[in-house]
């Protein structure tokens, strides 16, 4: 891929995300990417708000809606000039030439003028120095004393974390494979958890195709810990909203003899889950396409344990998904609160007396976490909160919060509830 094509690809990625509200994962999978096109896409989204301030100040008039890809191209140029070591002359030249790749050569003069103007002036302080939308900035400041550290952590690159598949190898043997391949790593809180010193494409990981290892954030790997001491062979376990299956497969790898049922409402996500299961060698579970807000899928046999990782804002995963802070609105988060409460209430009906339900989100917002759990236990007479304690993070009133200020974990929330015996 030529240098100008890399800039054009990044601009098209941004057009899909900013103009069509696609996710960064969708945009990157849509077309061939180079390491630079990915870096430019992620970089612009991490610093989107201040970059917009700079570009808007240098533009004499806004682009038409159909030319949003050119605005993305200017953001790509501004990011290179202010946030990378790419020489200014190269950044400007290749970004200007990328207008040809976008089939808009008429815009070269505008792109050149704006980028030269930006290169000649110092970057002035922006009111968006923390690179978060106003609503999220306000929420974090209201809820966390360490809000600025949280926002700073959200703008950093995420670590690449691995989970060794203990059904196919041992942590020690897999570490030896990494050492033989000269891939640096460090250990984490669980024996099967490793953090790479430098992220790698999965096809460079030894034994990935053979299912020896999976990519999974350490915070997500800690999810099954609150249930660990309560799991016994023969028990019936439900993983609702199961795809893409990281917690499900970790559960199967860590505990023998469980009768596990997994459901997810999206057919394509279930198909992805099945493909991952085949790579990892997991067959001893039941999977079906089903809506966890309904009960038509349930055979009326109670579960001893239920794991529900509800749809949420994703506010704990901004290091990996910086598109969220650019495209998500508070009204969209607010509209999901009712769904989260409905999922919790409906799945409670499938739980046996004496059983436990683990409520999870990848959010750091109290409304989606303690807010949902607190409202539930206040109205559900047979629900009891069980204390959760993990090796990192902090206790909340009803659960446990992991934060991205811990460099090896995304932001996750866990609350463990027990149902009274009848």
Helix, strand, coil tally for the chain in percent (to 5) = 50, 15, 35
Same domain, 276 and 399: yes
Q: Which of 120, 153, 170 is the last residue of a domain?
A: 120
Q: Which of 169, 192, 216 is the last residue of a domain?
A: 216
In a domain, 95, yes or no: yes
Of all helices (H) and strands (E), which one includes residue 143? helix 134-143
In a domain, 151, yes or no: no
Q: Could you give the 3-state DSSP secondary structure of residue 301?
A: coil
Q: Return the active site residues.
A: 362
Same domain, 373 and 249: yes
Give the structural domain span for 367. Answer: 220-419
Classify strands 351-361 and 303-309 as parallel, antiparallel or unpaired. parallel
Same domain, 188 and 273: no
Same domain, 165 and 116: no
In a domain, 242, yes or no: yes
Mean pLDDT of the chain, nearest integer: 94
In a domain, 145, yes or no: no
pLDDT digits (tens, 9 = 90+) for 122-167: 766 566 679 999 999 999 999 999 999 999 999 999 999 999 999 9
Same domain, 336 and 378: yes
Tens-binned pLDDT, residue by residue, of the chain (422 aa): 999 999 999 999 999 999 999 999 999 999 999 999 999 999 999 999 999 999 999 998 777 878 899 999 999 999 999 999 999 999 999 999 999 999 999 999 999 999 999 998 876 656 667 999 999 999 999 999 999 999 999 999 999 999 999 999 999 999 999 999 999 999 999 999 999 999 999 999 999 999 999 999 999 999 999 999 899 999 999 999 998 899 999 999 999 999 999 999 999 999 999 999 999 999 989 999 999 999 999 999 999 999 999 999 999 999 999 999 999 999 999 999 999 999 999 999 999 999 999 999 999 999 999 999 999 999 999 999 999 999 999 999 999 999 999 989 999 999 999 999 87
Determine the pLDDT at residue 65. Answer: 79
Same domain, 390 and 284: yes
């Amino acid at each position: 891929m030529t240098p100008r094509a890399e800039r054009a690809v990044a601009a098209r990625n941004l057009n899909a995300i900013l103009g069509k509200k696609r996710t960064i994962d969708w945009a990157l999978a849509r077309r061939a990417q180079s390491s630079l096109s990915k870096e430019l896409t992620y970089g612009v989204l991490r610093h989107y708000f201040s970059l917009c301030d700079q570009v808007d100040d240098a533009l004499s008039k806004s682009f038409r809606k159909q030319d949003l890809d050119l605005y993305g191209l200017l953001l790509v140029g501004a990011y290179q000039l202010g946030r990378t070591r790419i020489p200014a002359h190269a950044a400007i030249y290749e970004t200007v030439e990328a207008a040809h790749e976008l089939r808009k050569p008429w815009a070269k003069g505008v792109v050149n003028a704006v980028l030269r103007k930006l290169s000649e002036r110092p970057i002035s302080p922006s009111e968006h120095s923390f690179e978060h939308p106003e609503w999220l900035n306000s929420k974090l400041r209201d809820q966390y004393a360490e809000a600025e550290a949280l926002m700073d952590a959200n703008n950093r690159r995420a670590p690449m974390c691995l989970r060794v598949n203990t059904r196919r190898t041992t942590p020690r043997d897999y570490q030896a494979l990494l050492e033989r391949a000269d891939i640096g790593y460090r250990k984490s809180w669980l024996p099967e958890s490793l953090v790479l010193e430098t992220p790698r494409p999965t096809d460079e990981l030894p034994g990935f195709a053979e299912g020896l290892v999976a990519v999974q954030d350490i915070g997500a790997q800690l999810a099954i810990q609150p249930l660990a001491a309560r799991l016994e062979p023969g028990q019936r376990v439900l993983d609702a909203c199961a795809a893409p299956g990281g917690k499900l497969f970790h559960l199967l790898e860590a505990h023998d003899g469980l009768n596990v049922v997994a459901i997810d409402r999206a057919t394509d996500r279930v198909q992805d889950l099945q493909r991952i299961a085949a790579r990892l060698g997991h067959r001893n579970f039941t999977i079906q396409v089903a809506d966890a807000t309904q009960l038509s899928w349930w055979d009326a046999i109670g579960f001893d344990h239920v794991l529900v990782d509800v749809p949420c804002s994703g506010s704990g995963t901004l290091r990996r998904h910086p598109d969220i802070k650019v495209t998500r609105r508070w009204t969209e988060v607010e509209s999901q609160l009712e769904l989260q409460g409905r999922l919790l209430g409906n799945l409670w009906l499938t739980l046996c007396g004496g059983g436990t339900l683990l409520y999870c989100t990848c959010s750091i917002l109290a409304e989606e976490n303690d807010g949902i759990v607190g409202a539930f236990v206040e109205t559900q007479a047979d629900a009891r909160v069980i204390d959760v304690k993990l090796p990192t993070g902090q206790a909340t009133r009803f659960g446990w919060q992991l934060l991205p200020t811990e460099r090896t974990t995304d932001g996750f929330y866990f609350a463990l509830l027990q149902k009274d015996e009848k």
